[in-house]
């Protein structure tokens, strides 16, 4: 699973990355985590507010840091739909 964090190197972006990694580990999901800091690469996602969360090339959250439980629900959904 590909997880991307959109935004500058700020506290919220770091917290989102940590929460997403923790949620994936707790679910036993293999993942690649990538920071996307270059605005020319962020803009195509349409994320005008950071931090942004992209899972498998689909924007899942913008402008906030979802809780670990919310992230686990997102990851479970994406993982389930990827398997079918």
Catalytic residues: 10, 13
The angle that helices 11-27 and 68-83 make with each other, rounded to 10 degrees, is: 50
Q: How far apart are CA 17 and CA 64, in angstroms?
A: 12
Compute the distance between CA of residue 80 and CA of residue 74 in angstroms, rounded to an integer.
10
State how far Cα 59 lies from the chain centre. Answer: 8
């Amino acid at each position: 699973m590909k997880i991307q964090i959109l935004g500058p190197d700020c506290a919220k972006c770091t917290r989102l990355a940590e929460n997403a990694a923790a949620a994936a580990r707790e679910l036993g999901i293999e993942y690649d985590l990538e920071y996307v800091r270059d605005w020319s690469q962020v803009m195509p996602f349409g994320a005008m507010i950071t931090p942004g969360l992209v899972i498998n090339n689909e924007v899942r959250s913008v402008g906030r840091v979802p809780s670990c439980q919310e992230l686990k629900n997102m990851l479970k959904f994406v993982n389930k739909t990827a398997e079918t």
